[in-house]
């Protein structure tokens, strides 16, 4: 018997709002996370990512549907599920009046680790998050990113079988983010499973084996970052600065993504010379790069928004 | 990685979480030092206005101090939930939910114990407690404390906003801790209030303690009512807080 780390089946959540209309945060989300996988939940603000993580981590009751963690249903067997999970909450902060070392150490003790192993793990986690320099200062004196690193250190030190991380790298510098990615990889190598949310699509791409895009409480797409990028219809992106109004000129070369700064043409290497020719002829500034997950995300979610309207 | 399929035992992680909270509180020396302000001010008033009642007021100060710990629990539990979201970190973990509630209460109590013991020492110098009084004091303050931190924790879970909590916390603890006969003898209260006081834990506790110091203020029935209501209310509210701690982990 080898149950998956997490199986969600048609999870719905309607928040009741006092004196207001109810909010449908999740409208039937089904997903699976295999043991040892790193899976990212992506989606716009308010898509329902945090709501899903809270339900899966036993902190919020679904309106209907079920989630099970290692074969145990999160509602009926919450106690059992809780012994195998750890959570970095969105916008969580460490105790202001503890030091990072005390925060990590006491958290491990509260989870049942003995003094010696709590101490060793604390040292390792602080080192991984590069917090040694500030490890003995009160958290209240730390910068925002250092506090966030303390939260992540606290949770990765547990090496819990299933970790939920809600925007774990928010506010971190690029070095610190890469430190978190490395820790995540190490955790899954050692057998943990990770479900995280992020708005940094380079992070989702670098880190996750698979990802789900949630939009208005539904799973819009699931698959790998590579697979998703293929959906946009090309491997290269030509960005025309200030070319937002030139959609007609370029629409025959590939699919288009617009943002406030530029028009992006997603295309194939064979058509590159032609496009650059047109751009140069019109005295436009064009840059070329590989298609990123960000474009795929904008494309897929944008298509869904258009269809909805 | 093996996963135990038995339910974790009750109060798992209690002492470790109490230690966490104790460390947090001990970093806030100013709050501990100022925790005695109301008590000391009232004691000064009494020693000026009615020096003969200083013993009663000192007993009241001890009881009130334990009662006021509930307000600290309320504020701390609300703060780390609303502002820090640390409840999510600790409750989605093997730590038992009742250990989160009671460990927090224990940590706060131990952190604030030193100044209370100083007041108790002052009371001993003025009153010279008998063994019966001393035992009554210990049992009564434990009941008052259990009652108060349980109420504090339960109330803390009902709010989403820190600012909304402050006025209610202050109202709750001043109304039940300062207004009834805690710092003054129950015999000085109007008759109707006297009966109500026997059912409020802080004033029931002080009435019982004072009865062991200067007997014959209360009838046998009143002693029974005060003792029974204190014990039953403390036990019921504490048990409800444990139930509530487990139940409120998962929001609806
Ligand atoms: N307690 C609540 N009461 C009512 N509505 C809520 C509550 N919490 C969340 N919502 C609503 O549910 C929807 C999903 O919210 P959720 O926090 O899950 O989004 P999210 O995907 O995590 O967004 P973000 O990227 O901004 O963190 C939103 O419309 C939000 O306004
Ligand atoms: Mg969120």
Which tokens go with A146? 């250092």
Ligand 1, atom 1, residue with closest C-alpha: A15
pLDDT at B7: 64
Domain assignment present for residue A307? The answer is: no
Residue to test with chain B: of A110, A138, A141, A189, most B Cβ within 10 A: A110
* Three-class secondary structure of residue A234 per DSSP: coil
Please indicate, yes or no, whether residues A115 and A212 belong to a single structural domain of this protein. Answer: yes
> Which ligand has the minimum distance to the alpha carbon of residue A212?
1
Structural domain that includes position A248: 233-290
**Angle made by CA atoms A186, A192, A196, in degrees to the nearest 5:** 85
Stretch (H or E) spanning A26: strand A23-33
Domain assignment present for residue A13? The answer is: yes
The tokens 């109500």 sit on which residue?
B196
User: B107 — contact with chain A (CB < 8 Å)?
Assistant: no
Please indicate, yes or no, whether residues A156 and A15 belong to a single structural domain of this protein. Answer: yes
Say which CATH number the domain at A270 has.
3.30.70
Q: Of A224, A244, A276, which marks where a domain is finished? A: A224
Residues 6+ positions from A63 with CB-CB distance below 8 Å: A12, A13, A14
Please indicate, yes or no, whether residues A167 and A217 belong to a single structural domain of this protein. Answer: yes
State whether A59 and B88 contact (CB < 8 Å). yes
The closest alpha carbon to B217, from B189, B192, B196, belongs to B189
| ipTM of the complex model | 0.91
State whether B90 and A154 contact (CB < 8 Å). no
Beta strand A210-215 pairing with A38-42 = parallel
Residue B187 has pLDDT above 90, yes or no: no
Domain assignment present for residue A257? The answer is: yes
Round to whole Å and give the CA distance between A214 and A111: 32
Please indicate, yes or no, whether residues A121 and A266 belong to a single structural domain of this protein. Answer: no
Assign residue A257 a region (left: φ > 0; alpha: ψ between -120 and 50; beta: otherwise): beta
State whether B88 and A92 contact (CB < 8 Å). yes
User: B160 — contact with chain A (CB < 8 Å)?
Assistant: no
Please indicate, yes or no, whether residues A163 and A274 belong to a single structural domain of this protein. Answer: no
Say which CATH number the domain at A159 has.
3.40.50.300
- The gap between the terminal CA atoms of chain B, to the nearest Å, is 32
Distance in Å, CA A94 to ligand 2 centroid: 18
pLDDT at B6: 60
pLDDT at B8: 67
| Substitution site in A15, A90, A219 for ligand 1 pocket (most atoms within 8 Å of beta carbon) | A15
The residue-averaged pLDDT of A49-75 equals: 97
Ligand 1-lining residues (CB < 6 angstroms): A 15, 17, 23, 25, 43, 45-51, 90
- The model's pLDDT over A143-182, given as tens digits with 9 standing for 90+, comes to 999 999 999 999 999 999 999 999 999 999 999 999 999 9
Distance in Å, CA A53 to ligand 2 centroid: 9
State whether A87 and B93 contact (CB < 8 Å). yes
B201 close to B225: Cβ distance less than 8 angstroms: no
Residue to test with chain A: of B2, B3, B31, most A Cβ within 10 A: B3
Please indicate, yes or no, whether residues A162 and A198 belong to a single structural domain of this protein. Answer: yes
pLDDT cut 90: percent of chain B above it: 78
- The gap between the terminal CA atoms of chain A, to the nearest Å, is 46
- The model's pLDDT over A220-251, given as tens digits with 9 standing for 90+, comes to 999 999 888 887 778 888 999 888 888 888 88
- Number of separate domains in chain A: 2
* pTM for this entry: 0.91
Distance in Å, CA A23 to ligand 1 centroid: 9
Position in ligand 1 atom list of the atom nearest CA A53: 18
Please indicate, yes or no, whether residues A28 and A135 belong to a single structural domain of this protein. Answer: yes
Ligand 1, atom 22, residue with closest C-alpha: A50
The tokens 């079920």 sit on which residue?
A66
Distance in Å, CA A46 to ligand 1 centroid: 5
- The model's pLDDT over A76-131, given as tens digits with 9 standing for 90+, comes to 999 999 999 999 999 999 999 999 999 999 999 999 999 999 999 999 999 999 99
Q: Of A200, A224, A248, which marks where a domain is finished? A: A224
Domain assignment present for residue A301? The answer is: no
| Substitution site in A21, A22, A50 for ligand 1 pocket (most atoms within 8 Å of beta carbon) | A50
């Amino acid at each position: 018997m080898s149950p998956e780390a997490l199986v969600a089946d048609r999870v719905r959540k309607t928040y009741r709002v006092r004196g207001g209309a109810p909010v449908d945060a999740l409208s039937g989300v089904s997903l699976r996370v295999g043991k040892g996988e790193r899976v990212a939940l992506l989606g716009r603000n308010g898509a329902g990512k945090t709501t899903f993580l809270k339900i899966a981590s036993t902190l919020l009751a679904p309106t209907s549907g079920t989630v099970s963690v290692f074969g145990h249903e999160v509602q009926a067997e919450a106690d059992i599920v809780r012994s195998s999970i750890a959570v970095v909450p969105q916008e969580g902060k460490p105790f202001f009046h503890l030091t990072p070392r005390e925060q990590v150490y006491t958290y491990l003790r509260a989870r049942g680790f003995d003094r010696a192993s709590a101490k060793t793990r604390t040292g390792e986690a602080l080192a991984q998050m590069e917090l040694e320099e500030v490890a003995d200062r009160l958290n209240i004196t730390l910068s925002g990113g250092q506090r966030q690193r303390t939260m992540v250190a606290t949770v990765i030190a547990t090496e819990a079988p299933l970790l939920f991380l809600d925007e774990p790298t928010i506010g971190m510098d690029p070095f610190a983010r890469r430190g978190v990615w490395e820790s995540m990889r190490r955790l899954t190598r050692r057998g943990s499973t990770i479900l995280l949310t992020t708005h940094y699509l380079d992070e989702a791409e670098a880190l996750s084996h698979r990802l789900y895009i949630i939009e208005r409480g539904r799973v819009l797409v699931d698959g790998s970052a590579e697979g998703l990028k293929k959906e946009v219809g090309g491997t290269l992106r030509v960005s025309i600065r200030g070319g937002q109004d030139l959609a007609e000129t370029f629409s025959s070369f590939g699919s288009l993504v617009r943002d406030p700064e530029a028009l992006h043409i997603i295309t194939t290497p064979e058509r590159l010379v032609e496009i650059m020719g047109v751009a140069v002829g019109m005295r436009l500034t064009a840059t070329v790069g590989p298609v990123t997950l960000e474009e795929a995300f904008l494309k897929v979610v944008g298509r869904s928004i258009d269809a909805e309207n | 990685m093996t996963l135990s399929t038995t339910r974790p035992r009750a109060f798992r992680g209690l002492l470790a979480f109490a230690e966490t909270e104790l460390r947090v509180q001990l970093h806030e020396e100013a709050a501990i030092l100022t925790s005695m302000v109301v008590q000391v001010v009232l004691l000064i008033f009494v020693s000026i206005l009615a020096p003969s009642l200083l013993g009663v007021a000192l007993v009241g100060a001890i009881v009130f101090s334990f009662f006021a710990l509930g307000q600290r629990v309320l504020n701390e539990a609300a703060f780390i939930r609303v502002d820090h979201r640390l409840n999510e970190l600790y409750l989605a973990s093997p730590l038992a939910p009742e250990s989160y509630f009671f460990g927090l209460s224990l940590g706060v109590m131990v952190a604030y114990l030193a100044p209370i013991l100083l007041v108790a020492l002052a009371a001993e110098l003025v009153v010279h407690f008998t063994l019966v009084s001393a035992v009554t004091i210990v049992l009564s303050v434990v009941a008052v404390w259990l009652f108060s931190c349980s109420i504090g924790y339960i109330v803390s879970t009902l709010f989403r906003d820190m600012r909304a909590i402050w006025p209610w916390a202050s109202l709750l603890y001043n109304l039940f801790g300062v207004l009834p006969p805690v710092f003054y003898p129950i015999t000085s209260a109007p008759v109707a209030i006297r009966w109500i006081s026997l059912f409020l834990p802080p004033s029931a506790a002080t009435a019982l303690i004072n009865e062991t110091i200067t007997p014959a203020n209360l009838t046998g029935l009143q002693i029974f009512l005060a003792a029974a209501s204190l014990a039953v209310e403390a036990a019921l509210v504490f048990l409800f807080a444990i139930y509530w701690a487990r139940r409120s982990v998962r929001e609806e």
